[in-house]
Structure 1
Amino acid sequence: MLKRETTTSPRSLHPEKCAAQQTPSLSHQLAAFFEHWPQPLILNSAVNQPVEIDVPALAHFFDSLSQPLDAMRQNAAFFDPWEVIKLGRKEVLNTAILAWMLNPRGSHGFGALALMALLGNVQTSKGEAFPADPGRYCHVRAESSPGGDSAQRVDIEIDAENVYLLIEAKIDAPEQYDQLARYCREAESRAGARPWTVIFLTSDGRPPLTGGEYRVSCLSWQVLAEFIEPTLRRHFRQQKVQSATRSAAELSVLRFLSHIRRF
């Protein structure tokens, strides 16, 4: 009878060698890691030495700052009229100031620049560009009732020769039922042959709940400020004569644009 030969694997022949070739366990690796951890670094002992402060020189430095700081305070570089009157997030007041800024005949003195900057960045109800010039006349009304019904009051109405706009501004107030759809129907009716749109102005530029059958221009207060501010700053820099009243108007507008960016 033939004797059957059996094969033996290398693992069974040299069990200690195979064990050595296995990956060490995590506990062994951690032990080796901490065993070879470097000794704490020895910092330069000089850093622990006390630092000598020249008190008279430091006092002189702070004294030298008093004059430029006083000059800055007298110059009212940080004056903000809207902070003084606590404008905050008051929707009616902010909307009234926006209407003043967009009015070409406003007391700010820069004509239709703000309105033209806005028109250059929104589209009509047909998705077309607005005319660059609002025309020979332009009436801007805050808290207006275009159809004569006080229940249908809109925040801002812009009734110009070449354009017709309604602006519904929201800061914290919710959108009313069917509000934007009603405003779109009113604007379409009153615009006639003029290009028109309804601007829905909110803190985040969200679309309205109604009026989906119309093209509504959705803007955030921040984006509105970004549309207008560069145009006004270029205009202000080009002015060669700067009166006190013009400086006050310029400051008021720029502070307002900075204010509405935070809504």
Structure 2
Amino acid sequence: MELAIPEFSNQLANFFNDWKRLERQQQDVVQEQLSFEENLGRFFKDWRKVFINDRQLARFFNQYQSDEVQAPIRVAQQQGLAVNVWQIAGLKTDEVRHSKVLTWFLDCRGDHGQGNAILLHLLKELPLMEKYQTKRYFTTEECCPLGNQESRVDIEIDADEFLLFIEIKINATEGKDQLQRYIDIAQAKAKNRDWLIVYLTRDGKLPEKYKLYKEQERLIGLSWKKLAEIFYDYAKDRDVNNRSVWLLKQFADHIKKF
């Protein structure tokens, strides 16, 4: 009896879940500081617990290659649904280019037509900011908040209620006392408003010297992967035919790999 594709898909999902479980077990083994030989023996012992039916696996991939399955995939490709414009545009890991794109998405005046909705969705994930529903704010890319040319902030969100700085890093590291300068600038410019500095990096971690900063909630690390998850969450319940939402999801597809 032929195995139905949905049934086998469930088995395939279980296989990869077991694979992840083994990977976590291997991480535990590393923490136990076992030798290489002990690690290897433990891995192959656990590997046998993962059920693999080679005939069903071969049948699944044969069905995947069938015209019945491939035809709708080809139609989607012909319609451009497999294209990622941000990768084609050559953003790669250029921080300046990513700053421009992110500024555009967060700008309530942007021609994406989403108004302040994308920014508000981001604010929900940030300490001190989740309570704000601001409609009027200014988004500036590569700005000097107090006119000091040596302290250029990648993205500034200047609202009546708060001040938000976003510093972007992909391959680079913090410049000399860079975040401390931003802290001083934010304190001076925000005055009586709330303020927050987001340090956007690959791992979402702050440099070691800032981890004990006295106002910890005002300086946070955010990973590109987490930002992608926030954008996916924004897009999931919106019209799939909306081009701006489609572009945002593509941007999330691009940055989640950092």
> In the alignment, what sits opposite 1:25?
none
> In the alignment, what sits opposite 1:142?
141
Once the two structures are TM-superposed, the CA of residue 67 in structure 1 deviates from its matched residue by: 5.5
> In the alignment, what sits opposite 2:234?
231
Structure 1 length-normalised TM = 0.66
> In the alignment, what sits opposite 2:190?
191
Letter in 1 for 2:248: V
C-alpha change, 1:66 and 1:114, in structure 2 (3 Å) is closer
1:130–1:195 CA contact under 8 A, matched in 2:
no
Once the two structures are TM-superposed, the CA of residue 210 in structure 1 deviates from its matched residue by: 4.7
Once the two structures are TM-superposed, the CA of residue 228 in structure 1 deviates from its matched residue by: 3.1
Letter in 2 for 1:250: V
1:99–1:142 CA contact under 8 A, matched in 2:
yes
Q: Structure 1 residue 221 and structure 2 residue 224: aligned?
A: yes
Letter in 2 for 1:134: T
2:142–2:152 CA contact under 8 A, matched in 1:
yes
Instruction: Tell me which moved more, 104-113 or 140-149.
Output: 104-113
CA distance in 2, matches of 1:225, 1:67: 30
CA distance in 1, matches of 2:223, 2:251: 15
User: Matched residue of 1:251: which SS?
Assistant: helix
The runs of 5 or more residues in structure 1 that have no matched partner are 1-57
CA distance in 2, matches of 1:235, 1:164: 28
CA distance in 2, matches of 1:162, 1:233: 29
> In the alignment, what sits opposite 2:14?
none
Structure 2 length-normalised TM = 0.67
Once the two structures are TM-superposed, the CA of residue 66 in structure 1 deviates from its matched residue by: 7.7
2:231–2:248 CA contact under 8 A, matched in 1:
no
Once the two structures are TM-superposed, the CA of residue 259 in structure 1 deviates from its matched residue by: 0.8
Q: Structure 1 residue 172 and structure 2 residue 175: aligned?
A: no
> In the alignment, what sits opposite 1:205?
204
| Cα displacement string for residues 118-150 of structure 1 (whole angstroms, at most 9, x for unaligned residues) | 1111113xxxx5433124x21111111101122
Once the two structures are TM-superposed, the CA of residue 222 in structure 1 deviates from its matched residue by: 0.8
Count of residue correspondences:
191
Q: Structure 1 residue 132 and structure 2 residue 132: aligned?
A: yes
CA distance in 1, matches of 2:137, 2:231: 18
C-alpha change, 1:70 and 1:257, in structure 2 (3 Å) is closer
CA distance in 1, matches of 2:92, 2:239: 26
More helix by share: 2
Q: Spell out the pairing of 1:52-201 with structure 2 (5 A cutoff).
A: 68=72, 70-124=74-128, 129-135=129-135, 137-201=136-200
C-alpha change, 1:64 and 1:179, in structure 2 (3 Å) is closer
CA distance in 2, matches of 1:158, 1:186: 14
| Cα displacement string for residues 168-191 of structure 1 (whole angstroms, at most 9, x for unaligned residues) | 111001111111111011111111
Q: What fraction of aligned residue pairs are identical, expressed as a percent?
A: 31
Letter in 1 for 2:76: M
Letter in 1 for 2:79: N
Rg comparison, structure with higher value: 1
Once the two structures are TM-superposed, the CA of residue 62 in structure 1 deviates from its matched residue by: 6.3
CA distance in 2, matches of 1:78, 1:152: 40
Higher relative contact order (CA 8 A, sep 6+): 1
C-alpha change, 1:69 and 1:133, in structure 2 (3 Å) is closer
> In the alignment, what sits opposite 1:31?
none
CA distance in 2, matches of 1:80, 1:90: 16
Once the two structures are TM-superposed, the CA of residue 63 in structure 1 deviates from its matched residue by: 6.8
CA distance in 1, matches of 2:89, 2:127: 35
| Cα displacement string for residues 210-232 of structure 1 (whole angstroms, at most 9, x for unaligned residues) | 55244211111111221232123
Letter in 2 for 1:85: A
1:101–1:108 CA contact under 8 A, matched in 2:
yes
C-alpha change, 1:187 and 1:72, in structure 2 (3 Å) is same
